[in-house]
């Protein structure tokens, strides 16, 4: 069975049990529902860390990872510049800020 389904059913079961107990005690239905929601939240947080971990892992696996993000080019250029002297010899810009500054200076001329 999928982890998210087991986790959801466990949380609903905790909520239902807490709601039943609070209704038997004699609370009005709306106070019992609020109390059951709070009790269910606290009990599931304490009692279900393994299931919660499996759910987050399965979501992360399905989501996948992007090949690179906006900072990847800057980081790659920075590391490459630190590793080699080639960029210093050819005066190539290292960061996006340097590239933009070079364009502005070129456009101003």
Give the model's pLDDT for residue 75. Answer: 75
Least Cα distance to 14 among 51, 53, 40, 48 occurs for: 40
pLDDT digits (tens, 9 = 90+) for 57-103: 888 888 777 666 667 777 777 777 766 655 455 566 566 677 667 66
In this prediction the pTM is 0.57
Which candidate, 65, 11, 76, 9, places its Cα nearest to that of 38? Answer: 11
Rounded Cα distance between 52 and 54, Å, is 5
The structure tokens 């109390």 sit at 35
Tell me the HSE value of 4 on the side-chain side, using a 13 A CA sphere.
6
């Amino acid at each position: 069975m999928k982890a998210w389904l087991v986790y959801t059913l466990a949380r609903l079961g905790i909520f239902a049990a807490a709601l039943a107990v609070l209704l038997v005690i004699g609370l009005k239905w709306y106070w019992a529902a609020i109390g059951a929601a709070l009790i269910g939240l606290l009990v599931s947080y304490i009692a279900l860390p393994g299931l919660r971990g499996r759910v987050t892992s399965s979501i992360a696996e399905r989501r996948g990872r992007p090949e690179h993000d906006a900072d990847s080019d800057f980081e790659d250029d920075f590391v490459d510049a630190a590793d080699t002297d080639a960029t210093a010899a050819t005066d190539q810009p290292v960061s996006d800020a340097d590239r933009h500054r070079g364009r502005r200076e070129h456009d101003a001329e």
